[in-house]
Amino acid sequence: MSKELLLVGAGFSGAVIGRELAEAGHKVTVVDARSHIAGNCHTERDAETGVMVHVYGPHIFHTDDQEVWEYVNRFTTFKPYVNRVKTTSKGQVFSLPINLHTINQFFDKTMRPDEAREFIEAQADTSIEDPQTFEEQALRFVGRDLYEAFFKGYTQKQWGCHPSKLPASILKRLPVRFNYNDNYFFHRFQGMPEEGYTKLVEGILDHPNISLHLNTRFEREQVDEYDHVFYSGPLDGFFDNDLGRLGYRTLDFERFTYKGDYQGCAVMNYGEESVPYTRITEHKHFSPWEEHEGSVCYREYSRACEPEDVPYYPIRLVDEKALLAKYVEKARQLDKVTFVGRLGTYRYLDMDVTIREALDTARGFLDRVENSEPV
């Protein structure tokens, strides 16, 4: 029997779950508090330059998940795009992630891969046997010079606290390549939707069983009106923050235009603490197949998220994790609501992981319906 379902949020989580349920014959209502779809992946044309802009920060689609890649390609055309990031530090421009070019340029050498590996091993602080903090982990992996030039200032600005206060787990693997591969991601599939992410999400939401309501904030009382609710808003917000607020970092973007090409690449990081912003995004480089004389760039500043700000990165330190556990316990007691997506589960999720989880959530729900289990 067809169910009445509410999807809170028209980002990838809400759109993909909504689409799967709509295709299975259920009646789906999608609401979003904002005036646009696609959540934080929203793209739109800059009014002055005509450039496609990633409104909430740069988004590059990359995945190893073949089904997810085929899924997004059903709804739009993807253009090949390889993410190559640069960083300005100590008066020079370097290639990221740290690779053989970066190492040779930084130390003014012409080392081969095995020589560079040996050289970096000699830089590493081997007296740190069991790194506990981000700083110790970086010193253990790459030594002080590379840590200070490429990790310290950026991390301090991004998270608003000294790297010695952050867990080692943030820097999981050796962040260095001993070859000239400067492709930021290792995934098999990488690309950029030709007409932007919002057009892609528009395609996903385009189904006769889906009705979309923008500028519509979800109220908890609405749960009673539906057979089930999938909620991709902030977990703590669902409960009116009654146990306190989960901490986020937010971003401020300072827009400026330039006649021509401002920096020659899409993303330029600024690792030094003396520069207040973390990076500059020049959006026209995300669509190299388009021609634009003018250019629009965003300087990106990171700071603590206040209640009225857009939440971006969950902080997930010890205090937040303890609070999260309490909210998760409250959420478990609601059998008619499923919490999904980056805000609903308070995790940083890439787009491909978001879509994978959304597909799995929808399929799990449809199985329960088919087996006449309670939803």
Which residues are marked as active site?
173, 177, 249, 279, 300, 348, 350
Could you say which DSSP state residue 108 is in? T
Closer CB to ligand FAD, 109 or 336, in the complex: 336
Please identify which residue in 19, 26, 59, 279 interacts with ligand FAD, judged by CB under 6 A.
59
- Applying CB under 6 A, the span of 17-25, 64-72, 112-120, 351-359 interacting with ligand FAD comes to 351-359
Near ligand FAD in 217-246, by CB under 6 A: 217-218, 232-233
Please identify which residue in 30, 41, 51, 68 interacts with ligand FAD, judged by CB under 6 A.
41
Between CA 292 and CA 290 the distance in angstroms is 7
Rounded to a whole number of angstroms, the minimum distance from the CB of residue 155 to ligand FAD is 15
Rounded to a whole number of angstroms, the minimum distance from the CB of residue 123 to ligand FAD is 30
Length of the chain: 375
- All residues at 6 or more sequence positions from 291 whose CB lies less than 8 Å from its CB, including other chains: none
Please identify which residue in 19, 341, 356, 361 interacts with ligand FAD, judged by CB under 6 A.
341
Instruction: Assess 65 for contact with ligand FAD (CB under 6 A).
Output: no
With contact defined as beta carbons under 8 Å apart, do 270 and 87 qualify? yes
End-to-end CA distance of the chain: 12
Closer CB to ligand FAD, 62 or 152, in the complex: 62
Between CA 49 and CA 298 the distance in angstroms is 13
Instruction: Assess 13 for contact with ligand FAD (CB under 6 A).
Output: yes
DSSP string, 128-163: -SS--BHHHHHHHHHHHHHIIIIIIHHHHHHHSS-G
Rounded to a whole number of angstroms, the minimum distance from the CB of residue 79 to ligand FAD is 15
Between CA 215 and CA 87 the distance in angstroms is 38
Rounded to a whole number of angstroms, the minimum distance from the CB of residue 312 to ligand FAD is 4
Rounded to a whole number of angstroms, the minimum distance from the CB of residue 299 to ligand FAD is 13
Between CA 324 and CA 316 the distance in angstroms is 8
Near ligand FAD in 275-334, by CB under 6 A: 312-313
Please identify which residue in 32, 46, 148, 282 interacts with ligand FAD, judged by CB under 6 A.
32
Between CA 24 and CA 20 the distance in angstroms is 6
Joined tokens for residue 50: 């005509």
Between CA 121 and CA 140 the distance in angstroms is 9
Say how many residues touch ligand FAD, by CB under 6 A.
33
Cα torsion 352, 6, 56, 60 to 10°: value is 10
Instruction: Assess 359 for contact with ligand FAD (CB under 6 A).
Output: no
State the residues that interact with ligand FAD by CB under 6 A: 8-14, 31-34, 39-41, 57-61, 217-218, 232-233, 312-313, 341-343, 349-352, 354
